[in-house]
Amino acid sequence: MLLGLLAYFLLPLAWLVINSTKSTAGLFQSFGLWFASDFHLFENVRETLTYQGGIYGRWFLNTVLYAVAGAGGAALLAALGGYGVAKFDFPGRRLLLAGVLGAVMVPATALAIPTYLLLSTVGLVDTPFAVIIPSLASPFGLYLMWIYAAAAVPDELLEAARIDGASELRIFWSVAMRLLAPGFVTVLLFQLVHVWNNYFLPLIVLNNPAWYPLTVGLKQWNEQAYGGGGGSVAVLNLVITGSLLAIIPLIAVFLVLQRYWQSGLAMGGVKQ
């Protein structure tokens, strides 16, 4: 059972790695889960990075911009909001919590068209802000940080800081944020994956290929590979290699941040 689940999750990655080493002809002349007689990985990487004037590099930088600004901003706003809702009692708090729980249930695709209309009204369509600003809203992240802040930040510690004369902003940055770090990293990872793989929203709010993220750009290459007719350039191998290069940063981020995430979960388990 465990081996079956492991194969289910790793098989697409293995297919991507193996087929990124093949030329376009090798993709159709060899078995999909084994290497071809020729090895074209480095040629594929070079062609991917130089095709159409190196537009892949521009798409990669756009994706990094959207992920860093969107995911980082969303995690910070979720930490601020979750801490505020968990540690301060104010009128309408229950109504706010009900609204957050309701927003968690709404799929992001259902809000894409209303989001486009709002961005069009304020003139932000076809700009990076059209992708970054909607990414800052994360009801699930706010809910997660609310739960985490309620359990991880002792009220006695906050009272002690207030008695010492610290301001609320100083208490948040110097005291609460240190305790919220594992939850912050968790929300950051979830939102980073969401923004990095976001396809539908950039597709409808961006028209200029220079602002495309990798998801939309690679889809454009894929349509060119399959629908360009007899005169089209064979770029299927570039789509596969570009997809492999696109997931490497996500894997690196998970490997770097997993120890903070795991240590935080273990520490929280001991406290409970």
pLDDT in the model for residue 13 = 92
pLDDT in the model for residue 168 = 93
Provide mean pLDDT across the span 95-103: 86
Handedness of CA 168, 171, 172, 176 (dihedral sign): negative
- What tens digit of pLDDT does each residue of 109-156 get? 888 889 999 999 999 999 999 999 999 999 999 999 998 899 889 999
Question: pLDDT-derived band of residue 256, with 50, 70 and 90 as boundaries?
Answer: confident
pLDDT in the model for residue 270 = 46
Containing 97, the helix (H) or strand (E) segment is helix 93-105
Tokens read off for 179: 């305790």
The DSSP code sequence of 180-227 is HHHHHHHHHHHHHHHHHT--HHHHHH---GGG--HHHHHHHHHHHHHH
pLDDT in the model for residue 232 = 55
- What is the Cα–Cα distance from 245 to 76, expressed in whole angstroms? 28
24-33, 175-184, 247-256, 259-268: segment of lowest average pLDDT? 259-268
pLDDT in the model for residue 272 = 45
pLDDT in the model for residue 265 = 55
pLDDT over 60 (residue 20):
yes
Provide mean pLDDT across the span 161-167: 93
Provide mean pLDDT across the span 26-43: 90
How large a percentage of the chain has pLDDT more than 90? 64
- What tens digit of pLDDT does each residue of 184-209 get? 998 999 899 999 999 999 999 999 99
pLDDT in the model for residue 271 = 47
- What is the Cα–Cα distance from 68 to 239, expressed in whole angstroms? 24
pLDDT in the model for residue 160 = 93
Picking from 108, 138, 133, the residue whose alpha carbon sits closest to that of residue 123 is 133
Question: pLDDT-derived band of residue 74, with 50, 70 and 90 as boundaries?
Answer: very high
